[in-house]
Structure formats: structure tokens, C-alpha cells
Amino acid sequence: MRSAILVGLTTLFTLSCSLLFAADAQPETPRRPNVILLLSDDQRPDTIAALGNPVIKTPNLDQLVKQGTSFTRATCANPICTPSRAEILTGVGGFHNGSMDFGKPIKSDLPTWSETMHKAGYNSWYVGKWHNDGKPVIRGYDETLGLFTGGGGRWAVPSYDGNGLLVTGYRGWIFQDDERHFFPEKGVGLTSNISEHFADAAIEFIERKHNKPYFLHVCFTAPHDPLLMPIGYEQYYNPDEIPVPKNFLPEHPFDHGNFDGRDEKLLPWPRTRKVVQNDLSLYYSVISHLDSQVGRIVEALKKSGQWDNTILIYSSDHGLAVGSHGLRGKQNMYEHTINVPLIIVGPGVPADQRSAAQCYLRDLYPTSCDLAGIPIPKTVEGKSLKPVLTGKQDEIYEEIYGYFRDFQRMIRTDRWKLILYPHLDRVQLFDLQNDPLEMHDLSADPAHQQTRDALLRRLNDWRKSQNDKSLASAKSS
């Protein structure tokens, strides 16, 4: 009898302790979401079918548009590769991050996006094109796969693009690892299937066994020149059936500051509709091939069970002219170039939504931190887009600014855009509400002088605040 009582008391004590500990135990904290940035190169904002292009075929990007929120006025502040990517990496504008042009290093005291994610307990990985100083592993990334950058010049040979023109871009670029072991067997310079190599590396990271969340930064080279027809896409687009941009011109009306640049020499002067159609057929084919690789990455996430806990961001470092305004390159402040595609998909992001809120590429860094519950470093100048995603705000910025070397400065409000060319002491003024393709310069119209002068004053005030050392500015009348 005594034994039975002792057993009962012991059982009761054990049960009580279990209940006590259970009451004290905290529920398991959900793991923070993975963050994946897929960045294309030189992709116009009007090259996604679901966002209004009836010609291009982008079924996988279309699906992302349906599953997430698209920002239709996302902006690249400085439309060349290196400085644009520096803004993405640091969340800081070019006047303050040290990298306003090619060859300019990022300030070492700025915590990068990857460093911030790493400190928050994330694996931080990099895939693809690297076009900044140093290498990813000294910028906060734990590891790289499919790293593509310069260093393979000894393997480079003259080659020609899909239009039969001599290749002038990416010569000597090569796949390599963090120890600078080169892989020329994957090709030197751009190849027609290069996007597949980047997707392969991204999928290899995704398929690993994960014991903590990860930040995966994937930089494609598509659709940057040289444009090479991807195998299997030869019949995707008939050049004769592709419309040229509605703001096509044979030649830009004045020297915008890059008239003789490498990008502009990719097409002959004056531009012809036939030449631009041929270029667009290749450009669209490369984007469609890229779209397929995006689909492979999304499928890998779904197959591995990670899709529902992943924030996926798709964007580009800047747009491109491809015949618009008589230009070929990206060194300009027109909408086809400073605007970029931007789609955000993931937990907490509304599906099938469009937002016209103006924003910068530098905002992606703080936005991902905000969505993942990670403190945003004080150095970051960009702003989180979460208030727009959650419906708390309709806009983040009343106006945005752009800049290219000492040749161009820009201010854009919801309706108006003013572009300043300091080297010419000249401005352009566009009413984007009534002229979204920027075909009618109103800067000399007396009816709009008040608007012109007010925007110019705001732009010059901003330039002073940035300690902008560019050349003389146009004067208000």
C-alpha cells in the first residue's frame, strides 16, 4: 500500500513538473524568411508581358507578377553597372558610397546588405556577375558559386554577336571561384547559354540542407550586350513583326554626354527601324531565355519546400534605350532607362498588386531587412517599401533624383520630370502624366516656365545637399 502511494505521488510530482515546464516553455520562434535577389542586367521596365508588353514571352516573370507586388516606377539612380550595384549593396546613394563610376571602390566602412544579413544569422551567398571592387567574400558573402568577373583575358578571342558585330563587352570575363581558379571550359565572355550556368549555381545553393535562413544574391548578365541567340530560341521572335519603341528616333537631338560611348556604337548612325527590330528580336530572345532560368529557380524553391518562406525580389540594375530617343545604351535619364522592373513576392507581400510609388534600387536592402525583422543599419539611406506593401502608405518619396557622371542630373515628381545637362547648360521638361514616352520637351514653353524653374531650384538645392561637384547648372529664368 505504501509503495503504491509513493508511486502515485511520484507520478503526480512528475506530471506537475511537466506542466510547469510546459507553461514556462516559449513557443518555437518561426525561422526568418529566406531572401533571394534575382538581378538582371540592362533590362527595360517594359519587357514583361504581364506588365503590358504584348510581344515578349515571359511566362515565369508573369507568374511572379501575379503572385507578388510590382513597383512600376522603381528607379535606378545612376544608370551604369558598377555604381548602380554599389547602391544596391550598400543602400547608400552614389554621392556618399564612394562609387559614382567604373573603377571607384565602395567605402569600406559601409555595412553591405550581405554583411547585415550575415550578422542577423543568415548564410549569405553570391552567384553570377561581380562588377564592383574586390570580390564578394570580402563584402560579407560567405561563399560564391558561378562567380563571373574579369581575369580571363588570355583566353579571349575576337567574337561576334547575333547581329554579326564585333563584341566589345565582357571580353575576358570568365567563371572562377573565390581563390581565382578559372573555368574557361564554361566559356570566356558571354555565351548564348550563360544564364543557365547562373541558374545552376543558384539551384545548387537552394538544394543544400539548411539549418538557418539564407540570403542568396544572383546577378545574371542577361540581357546585356553582346546579344547572342540562345539555343532553342531562334524562332521565338520574327524581327519584322517586332514594333520599334514608339519614341524611336534615328538620332538623339543633341550630345547627352555619352554620344560616343561604347554602348552607342553598338548600332550604326543614324538608327534605322530595321536595325532596331533586329536588335530587339535578340534582346527579347535573351530575356525569354532568362525567364526560363527564373522559372527553374522558383521550381527548385517549391520542390525543396522553401517557397512559402522565401522573399524573392526580381529587378535589374538599370534599363536600356534600344532605339528609344535615338539611343542604344543606358547612360540617360529617360524612363526606359532609369526605370527598372521590380517584383517582390513572399510572406507579407500582397499578390497581384501594382504600385506606382516611386522608389530606388537602394531601397531593396532596407525593405528586405524590414520584412525579415532585421534592424536596418543607420548608414542606409534607402527607405523600406514595407509601408507601401502593407497599405499604410501610398508613397515613400515625393520626388526622386538621378545622375550620370557630370553630364546629367534629374528630378522626377509624380507628374513632372526635369533633366539637367550641366555640360550644355540645358534642360528638358516632360509632363509624364500626358507624355509618358517623353516625346515633347516643354522646357521652352512659356506656359510651363514656373514649373521648370521650381523643379530646377529643387534639383539644385538637392545637388548642394549632396555636395555635387558637377559642372555649372542651368539658371532659373
Digitized pLDDT (tens) for each residue of the chain, 477 residues in all: 444 444 444 444 444 444 444 444 444 456 899 999 999 999 999 999 999 999 999 999 999 999 999 999 999 999 999 999 999 999 999 999 998 888 888 999 999 999 999 999 999 999 999 988 889 988 889 999 999 999 888 888 888 888 888 889 899 999 999 989 999 999 999 999 999 999 999 999 999 999 999 999 999 999 999 999 999 999 999 999 999 999 999 999 999 999 889 999 999 999 999 999 999 999 999 999 999 999 999 999 999 999 999 999 999 999 999 999 999 999 999 999 999 999 999 999 999 999 999 999 999 999 999 999 999 999 999 999 999 999 999 999 999 999 999 999 999 999 999 999 999 999 999 999 999 999 999 999 999 999 999 999 999 999 999 999 875 555 543
The vertex-109 CA angle with 104 and 113, nearest 5°, equals 85
Check whether the bond before 226 is cis (ω within 30° of 0): yes
- The answer to whether 153 touches 161, Cβ cutoff 8 Å, is no
Strand residue runs (E) in 122-240: 123-129, 143-149, 174-176, 214-219
Residues 6 or more apart from 23 whose CB is under 8 A from it? none
Domain 406-465 bears CATH identifier 3.40.50.150: no
Radius of gyration from C-alpha coordinates of the chain: 25
Query: Hey, what's the cell of 404?
Result: 550620370
Domain 406-465 in the same topology as domain 34-398: no
Can you tell me whether residue 204 is helix, strand or coil?
Answer: helix
Q: Residue 142 burial (CB < 10 Å; 0-12/13-18/19+)?
A: middle
Neighbours of 150 (CB within 10 A): 13
Residue ranges of the domains in the chain? 34-398, 406-465
Class of domain 34-398 (CATH, top level): alpha beta
Other beta carbons less than 10 A from residue 348's beta carbon: 13
